[in-house]
Amino acid sequence: MGRMTDIANDSPLMAGDHSASTGAGRAADGDHPGRPALPEHVRVRFCPSPTGTPHVGMVRTALFNWAEARHTHGVFVFRIEDTDAQRDSEESYNQILEALRWLHLDWDEGIEVGGPNGPYRQSERTEIYRDVARRLLEAGYAYESYSTPDEIEARNVAAGRPKAFGYDGFDRNLTQEQKDAFRAQGRRPALRIRMPEEDVAFDDLIRGHIDFKAGSVPDYVIVRPNGDALYTLTNPVDDAMMGINVVLRGEDLLSSTPRQIVLYRYLMELGIAREMPLFGHMPYVMGAGKKKLSKRDPESNLFLHRENGFIPEGLLNYLALLGWSIGPDRDVFSMREMVESFDVRDVKANPAHFDIDKAVSINAEHVRMLEPQDFLNRSVPYLRRDGVVSADSWDALTDRERAVLTAAAPLVQPRVRLLGEVSAMVASLLSRDGYIEPDDDARKQLKGSSEDVLDRAVAALEGVDEGAWTAENLHETLNAALLEGMGYKPRQAFGPVRVALSGRRVSPPLFESMEIVGKDVTVARLRGLREHL
């Protein structure tokens, strides 16, 4: 008990001093007033629970930890917090692995990589938690608590406090006789951490100085009556034993930080922890209506974004902007550039708003930056999914499919924002059909002059030799026949031709598309639409 009292008398209980345990830290940066210097050798972690589909908030947390580790040449640890048997699933575990691999967020220690501090799944560390809990109890830092939730509520009401006020410290100083009496009733105790009666303060890497007043955080449970360790114990213990010295996590966990600071002090006294980590709490990601983005919101679903055609470069670029920026008036950058510039102390504390339109726009920039063959390789699985091509890899396509797509790439790549949009742009180029049923919005573009336009276009194009079937010559031919010869405006003249060729109001450049599909198919489609007007 004496050791605990010594800690409690150090007022206020302050976290974040690395000078005693890590040696010289990184020099304090004048651009980050009120923010602590980072340790010399940064060790960060990503520790999701496998409960549901990976979401953008989870990925943003992984990204910022990964970027900090790569920027400082530190270590990125990836572990899984899977002690909630009712909610955790192997499917979700595999999805988290799949997500990190798709996004190319590699890790240095942890799941499937190994390292000196394993195992890296909490479900495999049960004996470690039991041993630490025993040592905390023996040292007086934890104590047995027999109060039931109903008893705690009843005591609060009797004392004139709100019913849901929380635990009141009733079991802090139970005598052995009282404990024996509870056990005789068949009760099994939970274990609670004994919080000191003083302020708990720390310097947040993102938010600056934060102070929790004495008494604002009640003694909290670390082990259930059935012996199961809770997150409140397992998370700090894992961080301590894995040497994590920078903890970057969401703002929603800020309220648990004073608990972790106090527990860390106890773990340091017991020789389990070597140092107190620095904490940085990242801003909420907000969705529509200025509400926190929920896991259930469609915008939150990582794999839905992938299904729609986001590429890793574009999605990560946008997620990086949810609280951080690389520079004034600059939104588009590579992950290499992010790593070069990232410092968690530059992250803003204000909530970040997830704007799907901006995310799509940034993704479009990254799609345009892909090498043409890379663009095609990445597009093929979407084309196969949509039934546009015969295989899901470039090498397995037919010669004709590869030839058409190679010719189409420079026409399509600058015009799509998501890889999921490629199918609609190239389907008509790959099809041999002589008639394509127009989309509803395309059919609305067909005016009263469309019949005449199609008739005159067919007549003009039938006179073009196969050897002269080039985009440039086709443009000149239709200009002469429809604009110069009949006085039509370009939209009147070329709109019906575009709809006939692609079935769409928006398509790849018209004359280049006609060159790709060839004379026979082009003329057949013009006639086909004319017959269906």
CA separation for the pair 504, 120 (Å, rounded): 52
Residues forming a β-bridge with 352: 285
Rg (CA), the chain: 32
Question: Distance between the two ends of the chain, CA-based, in angstroms?
Answer: 91
Burial 104-143 (b: 16+ CB within 10 A, else e): ebebbbbbeeebebbebbbeebeebbeebbebbbeeebbb
Q: Measuring CA to CA, which residue among 413, 411, 389 is closest to residue 402?
A: 389
Name residue, tokens 């008494």: 215
| Catalytic site residue from 179, 295, 348, 519 | 295
Spatial separation of the C-alpha atoms in residues 337 and 396, rounded to whole Å: 35
Q: Identity (one letter) of the amino acid at 206?
A: I
Q: Determine the Cα–Cα distance for residues 230 and 260; give it in Å rounded to an integer.
A: 13
Quote the CA–CA distance of 67 and 57 in Å, as a whole number. Answer: 15
With residue 278 as reference, give the H or E element that holds it.
strand 278-282
Annotated ligand binding at 295? The verdict is yes
* Beta-carbon contacts of residue 68 (< 8 Å; ≥ 6 apart): 42, 44, 74, 246, 248, 342, 343, 344
Return the structure tokens found at 176: 């052995």
Alpha helices in 321-470, H assignment, sequence order: 335-341, 356-369, 372-385, 399-412, 422-430, 440-443, 450-462
In this structure, which amino acid lies at residue 344?
V
Conformational region of residue 329, where left means phi above 0, alpha means psi within -120 to 50, and beta covers everything else: left
**Would you call 295 a catalytic residue per the annotation?**
yes
- CA-wise closest residue to 411 among 515, 306, 503: 515
Is residue 217 a contact partner of residue 258, using CB atoms and an 8 Å limit?
A: yes
d(CA 52, CA 89): 8
Q: How far is CA 2 from CA 140, 263, 274, 275, in A?
A: 9, 16, 20, 21
User: Which residues are designated catalytic?
Assistant: 295
Q: Binding-site residues for ATP, please?
A: 295
